[in-house]
Structure 1
Amino acid sequence: MIIKKLAVPLINDKILQQAEHGYIATAAITDAGFDFIRSRLPGKTKLDIVTGLDGLTSPGVLKRIWRHYQDRFTLRIYTRNIFHANVYIFELPYRKSVGFTGSGALTLEGLKDHEEIFNKVTDIKEVEALLSWYTSYYEFAEPLTEEMIAEYELIYPYMKQREIISREEKKQFVALTTRGFQWDGIKFKNQYFKKEDYLVFGNAKNTLNNEAIQAERAAVQTKLLQLHESVQKHVTRLKLRADGNTVVSSIDIGNRQDHKLDSMALSYGRSEADLKKYADTATSDDFMTMQVVIQQKDIGVWLTVGKPRTGKQDREYFRLKMHDENYRKTFFSSLVGLGAGYWIEVAGEQKVVESFSQDEVLWEYTKADDWMYYRFIIGRNFQPGEAAVSNDAIVQTIEQEFDKLIVLYNHMKHVREQ
């Protein structure tokens, strides 16, 4: 039998509720996927898991299994080859059993959200053959150890960063080549940024460093500086500061870690008086910024809480303050109150703000932030051709968006009394 969403029979047929022993082979495990299974199993049910860590597996779930579930659950790591199988077998009462083979890993996406396919097996001999296959890998896999977890935890953020970059590149490719998007269909006559301004950040040009490309980048940089002159007074009223040397991004790709110039931005942050209070412990890189960003296919107005290795002061403060219920509820109300069109990105996962039903859900989502490795951004993007970013409207648009985001900026920023 073909199954599209494995979560459906696991719940509706009460497979997890009745399971006496489970056997799972999977390419990857997340906390949410593990909890989906664990929370529905009876208290005495045993569960054996084998994975190869070839797909992104949460270090947190490895630690939880090691520290809290060793009496019921075992996890082994298969290291002899790439392990990409996904098999779920459950022993049920009255000597019955059921198995599922398919594409979905032990993640919430693999179990119910993504487009996956599974085959359900109920014939006794077929299930026995499947269990025999499982056992052959489980027995040759390495037992999970604290040393293994510690080493994996060190490399996981870099694996996650590469996965995020790959996903973003595919997202950009899809946005540019499908869903009806066509550069020729956009009227640029009254637009502040023209087609060539966007294309200089595209894959065909963003790694080049010749004189012609640099001239195109310089032209965009000049337009951003002209915008800065127009919004500067408004920004000052919001008590934000533009560093004269860094208000606009450099056009030197040598300053980019990946030597790829795929965006440029205006950035505004702490006042000089604020920064003096932290002179002994922090620099401007340790704080949030408000940004106007141009990329290959959009213009963004962002509250950039931080990019990898930036925003440490504010991000650690925010993480701590989110334990306070009143602070958390205020943040939730302010974020959701931004309305349609706004999104938040934490640890590579971007969600529209209205998708959060309550402050606890939002808190759980933000716990994934790590200032060392990931971006944390709240913002809104405008597409080429939109009236909001035309010659006549772009300054007003930026000022209005800054007025909305400054509420979150002031709520999230660390304040040190002098």
Structure 2
Amino acid sequence: MDSKFSLEFNSISDSIDEAYMAIGMISENMFDFAIRKLENAALIHIVLGVHMPTHPNVFKKIKSLSDEKKLDAAVYVRNFFHPKLYLFKIRKEWIAYVGSGNFTNGGWSKNEELFTRITCQQTCTELYEKFLRWKLASQQIDQRFIDIYERNFNTYAELQKDTVKFTDDLTDKLQEKFNIDNVDFTEQFFSKKHHMAFRPGITHMDSPDVLEERKEVRKRLYLLDALISSKIPPGWKIYHHYDIDHIVSHIYASGHDDLNVRSLWVGYGRNKAALKQYHGNDSTPLNFMRMQVIVHYDSVGFWLMPGKLGAGQIDRSSFLEKMENEETQRYFFRHLKSLGKEYWIEVAGEKRPCESFTDHDELASFIKRDDFRNYYFIIGRDYQLGATALRSENIVLSCIADFTKYKPLYDLIKDSTFG
């Protein structure tokens, strides 16, 4: 199976009549995603382990759906439960997926995982019988179980932070991807200390010292915003956040994806008046597409961001509709390819050079995989630290030059309901 499992699941979910899943761990967002996708299934059965950090909220949701007879689930506690079995019945035929990925965003899309698709009915029947044996040996997910599990989970979560730090430090050292000590920061707008605020091992921390480091980056981004805002052509109608406290992203881990502050950024998109035409509580810049400057440990990026994970629904859905039109596909293909070899596009967890697409059909198929609930959608360019483009005298011009390239794509992708 070459594709990510989430894409495979998406392609068959509407046809699934029965689902049987035995896994060691479930993340909350993937559980919500799967339940939505399986709304037409007559039967959903889950056997789940306890030795991996499934959030208590998942067990609470499982219990609630079980009480409503919408789900049949149990927890296996006898041994370390580590299978990854996804078994489905579609029009009286079995199909199974067995592999390495847990029922998480990482296991289904972000990580490098391996799955095997099995269509042999005899093998699938044997897997079904194995599932039933696990189910028979499992216990009910009731309120007593949830209370005990939640108390122990909170202790485990604190220990897990140290494990994450150790793993991040180890993989960075082994891969030798980047050595900040080799960078010449002479005349760079962002100094070494600014990038060190995102060094591996501290991204999950909110200690006073770490927060002070992030505050310095935030101050620098406010200064950069003042310089960029004065150079953005008024006719573009893109603006920084209308609330001064939100012009630059926040420094606390709780406000970032996966509770890690790996970057800070400043973004430009619709103004307050344009956003409020959508009349929703979520009508804030974060939930609509924008251009942005983003600072990481090892790079500075100038990006076009149709949406982060869980955001950008209006613009992204509008763009998917537009991409049904062949003329739009050709227009998008021409402009994306013209960006140059340094630019890339990320959709549905896959990142590709913009120049890698051979024709508009290939690009359209790639775009149609977009799923705002579970993936980022980004077009961008990342500059290595020490680059001439990032010098204090050049960074604003570099940013505006990239934004100028993105502007036709911005206009195409954004929803035009209100102009």
Smaller-chain TM-score range? 0.5 to 0.7
Superposition TM-score, scaled by structure 1 size: 0.63
Q: 1:251 to 1:162 in 2, by over 3 A?
A: farther
Structure 1 equivalent of residue 200 of structure 2? 203
Find the counterpart in structure 1 of residue 89 from structure 2.
Answer: 144
Distance 1:280 1:186 in 2: 45
In structure 1, the residue matched to 2:41 is none
Q: Distance in 2 between matches of 1:216 and 1:185?
A: 21
Shift of 1:313: 0.6
CA distance in 2, matches of 1:78, 1:391: 54
Write the letter of the residue equivalent to 1:215.
E
Per the TM alignment, residue 144 of structure 1 is displaced from its structure 2 partner at its CA by 2.7
Distance 2:281 2:177 in 1: 50
Map 1:192-271 onto structure 2 (within 5 A).
Answer: 192-235=189-232, 237=234, 238-243=236-241, 244-271=244-271
Match of 1:276 in 2: 276
Offset at 1:260?
A: 1.2
Counterparts of 1:361 and 1:280 in 2: how far apart (Å)? 35
Alignment of 1:74-89 (within 5 A): none
**What letter corresponds to residue 179 of structure 2 in structure 1?**
Q
The aligned counterpart of 1:182 is: 179
1:348-367 equivalent positions in 2, closer than 5 A: 348-367=349-368
User: 1:370 maps to what in 2?
Assistant: 371
Q: Is the 8 A contact 2:168 2:201 kept in 1?
A: no
Residue 189 of structure 1 aligns with an amino acid whose one-letter code is T
**CA separation of 1:358/1:327 partners in 2, compared to 1, >3 Å: closer, same or farther?**
same
SS of corresponding position for 1:320:
helix
Match of 1:118 in 2: none
Residues in 2 aligned to 1:354 and 1:66: alpha-carbon distance in whole angstroms = 37
Identify if the C-alpha distance between structure 1 residues 318 and 281 changes in structure 2 by more than 3 Å, giving closer, same or farther: farther
Q: Which amino acid aligns with 2:240?
A: A
Provide the C-alpha distance between the structure 2 equivalents of 1:145 and 1:184, rounded to a whole number of angstroms. 56
1-structure distance, mates of 2:339, 2:227: 24
The answer for the alignment partner of 1:128 in structure 2 is none
| Structure-1 separation of matches of 2:282 and 2:207 | 36
- Secondary structure of residue in 1 paired with 2:293: strand
CA distance in 1, matches of 2:297, 2:358: 32
Give the corresponding residue for 2:76.
none
Deviation at 1:250, TM superposition (A): 0.6
- Letter paired with 1:206: T
Q: Contact 2:313–2:372 at 8 Å: present in 1 too?
A: yes
- Cα deviation, 1:90-115, whole Å, max 9, x if unaligned, reads xxxxxxxxxxxxxxxxxxxxxxxxxx
SS at match of 2:203: coil
Cα distance in 1 for residues equivalent to 2:93 and 2:361? 32
Q: Secondary structure at the match of 2:216?
A: helix
Alignment check: 8 A CA contact 2:329 2:364 kept: yes
Write the distance in 2 (CA, Å) between the matches of 1:326 and 1:157: 40
What's the secondary structure of 2:401's corresponding residue? helix
3-state secondary structure, aligned to 1:327: helix
Displacement after TM superposition at 1:254 (Å): 2.3
**Deviation string, structure 1 residues 100-134 (Cα, Å, up to 9, x no partner):** xxxxxxxxxxxxxxxxxxxxxxxxxxxxxxxxxxx
1:389–1:397 contact (8 Å) kept in structure 2: yes
* 8 A contact 1:277–1:416 mirrored in 2: no
Alpha-carbon RMSD: 3.8
| Aligned partner letter, 2:9 | P
Give yes or no for contact 1:286–1:311 (8 Å, CA) kept in 2: yes
Q: Residues 210, 282 of structure 1: CA spacing in aligned structure 2 closer, same or farther, 3 A cutoff? A: closer
1:189: how far off? 2.0
Structure 1 residue 259: deviation in Å?
A: 2.2
Q: What amino acid does structure 1 have at the position aligned with 2:270?
A: R
Deviations 1:351-396 (A, max 9, x none): 0000001010001111111111100000000011111101211111
Distance of 2:371 and 2:300 partners within structure 1: 26
Q: CA deviation at 1:298?
A: 0.6
Verify the 8 A CA contact 1:246 1:267 in the aligned structure 2. Answer: no
Deviation at 1:172, TM superposition (A): 11
Q: Could you say if the C-alpha distance between residues 336 and 179 of structure 1 is closer, same or farther in structure 2, counting changes exceeding 3 Å? A: farther
Query: Distance in 2 between the 1:378 and 1:277 partners?
Result: 26
- The 3 A distance-change label for structure 1 pair 203 and 288 is same
Q: Whole-Å Cα distance in 1 between the matches of residues 300 and 94 of structure 2?
A: 41
| Structure 1 residues 9-408: aligned runs within 5 Å | 29-30=1-2, 58-62=8-12, 144-145=89-90, 159-162=104-107, 164-166=109-111, 178=175, 181-235=178-232, 237=234, 238-243=236-241, 244-279=244-279, 283-284=283-284, 285-408=286-409
Q: Partners in 2 of 1:236 and 1:209 — Cα distance?
A: 38
One-letter amino acid matched to 1:402? F
Structure 2 Cα separation of the partners of residues 143 and 207 of structure 1: 37
Structure 1 vs Structure 2: percent identity of aligned residues?
27
CA distance in 1, matches of 2:93, 2:104: 16
Distance 2:247 2:102 in 1: 30
After superposition, the Cα gap between the structure-2 partners of 1:143 and 1:405, relative to the gap in structure 1 and judged at 3 Å, is closer
Alignment: residue pair count? 299
Rg larger in structure: 1
Distance 2:410 2:302 in 1: 13
Q: Structure 1 regions of 5+ residues with no counterpart?
A: 1-28, 33-54, 68-75, 82-140
SS of alignment partner, residue 200 of structure 2: coil
Q: Is the 1:59–1:149 contact (alpha carbons within 8 Å) kept by the matching residues of 2?
A: no
Q: CA deviation at 1:60?
A: 4.1
The verdict on how the C-alpha distance between 1:272 and 1:357 changes in structure 2, with shifts beyond 3 A counting, is same
* Native 8 Å contact 1:176 1:182 kept in 2: no
CA contact (8 A) 2:109 2:349 kept: yes
